[in-house]
Amino acid sequence: MKPSKEQWETIISRWSNITECGEKRLLCYLLADAVKQEIDSWHTPGDVFRSPFFSLGRFDRYMKLLGIEPNYVKKEMQRWTPA
């Protein structure tokens, strides 16, 4: 079963090394939503990370703001790539 948006939010928050605050919660919420939508849009392995949010580097910048290595998160996301 794929993780829900709420589960992604919790996971991203735990990976972050930033002290809990409103800004962190907002970023985690927005990133979890983007991750969930991205994974749900994958129908074939070639679909991975094609949305502008990912392909233009926005995801990477926001993850770095939280102190998280973006490639690590992408690798975890790819566990849910269709075969």
Residue-wise pLDDT for 43-65, tens only, equals 777 778 888 888 899 999 999 99
Domains: count for the chain? 1
Q: How confident is the model at residue 14 (pLDDT cuts 50, 70, 90)?
A: very high
Q: What mean pLDDT is reported for the chain?
A: 89
Mean pLDDT within 1-22: 92
- By residue range, what is the domain housing residue 60? 5-80
Query: pLDDT category, 70, cuts 50, 70, 90?
Result: very high
pTM for this prediction? 0.84
Q: Distance (Å, rounded) from C-alpha 1 to C-alpha 24?
A: 27
Per-residue confidence band for 83, with pLDDT thresholds at 50, 70 and 90 = low
